[in-house]
Every structure is written in C-alpha cells, then in structure tokens.
C-alpha cells in the first residue's frame, strides 16, 4: 500500500516504482488528484499490470494487479 496523497508528480510514480521492485502481484496506491492517478496508472500498465480505480471523497484508490 502506497499512500501518495497530496504529493505531486513524479513522486507518486517513483513511490510506485520503488514498491514494485518487490515484484508482487498486487499493490494499492492512494492518490488524491487526477495527474498522479493518470501517471501511476500509465506506469503500472507499462509494467504489465492491470489497474482498477475506486473513487471516494475526492481520493482515488488504485488497485494494481497482475
């Protein structure tokens, strides 16, 4: 679980990149604005993951899975 709320790009993507070094099958990334939502999604997809987005109270929970 990566909490990247309030952080501006590219930091959320770097945090995701670092987390993914463990080569796990499932990650969750929490962001609260659109640019990181798009960028983290784009990065995860480029690494061969699928991304599902849940929006709640202006925050986005990105569920990233193989």
Partner 1 sequence: MNKKNDKLMMTIVGLAIGVISAALVYFGNPKNMGFCIACFLRDTAGGLGLHKAPPVQYIRPEIIGIVIGAFLAAFAKKEFRSQGGSAPMTRFVLGFFAMVGCLMFLGCPYRMILRLAGGDLNALAGLVGFTAGIFCGIFFLKNGYSLKRTYTLTKSEGYILPIIELVIFALLIIKPAYIAFTAEGVGPGAMHAAVGVSLAAGLFVGVFAQRTRLCMVGGIRDLVLFRETRLILGFLAILVAAFVTNLVLGAVTGTPYFVLGIEGQPVAHTDGLWNALGMLLVGFACVLLGGCPLRQLVMSGEGSADSAVTIIGLMVGAAFCHNFGLAASGEGPTPAGKTAVIIGIIVVAIIGVVNTYVRQDAKVATETK
Cβ contacts of residue 14 below 8 Å, gap of 6+? none
Q: Output the smallest distance, CB 53 to partner 1, in A.
A: 13
Sign, CA dihedral 6-19-51-53, equals negative
CA 30 distance to own-chain centroid: 7
Among 24, 26, 35, 54, which residue interacts with partner 1 (rule: CB under 8 A)? 35
Among 27, 43, 49, 60, which residue interacts with partner 1 (rule: CB under 8 A)? 43
List residues binding partner 1 (CB under 8 A). 5-11, 13-14, 17, 33-35, 38, 42-43, 45-46, 58
């Amino acid at each position: 679980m990566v909490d990247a709320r309030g952080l501006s790009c590219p930091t959320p993507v770097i945090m995701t990149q670092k987390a993914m070094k463990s080569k796990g099958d499932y990650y969750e990334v929490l962001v609260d604005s659109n640019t990181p939502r798009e960028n983290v999604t784009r990065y995860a997809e480029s690494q061969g993951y699928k991304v599902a987005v849940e929006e709640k109270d202006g925050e986005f929970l990105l569920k990233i899975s193989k």
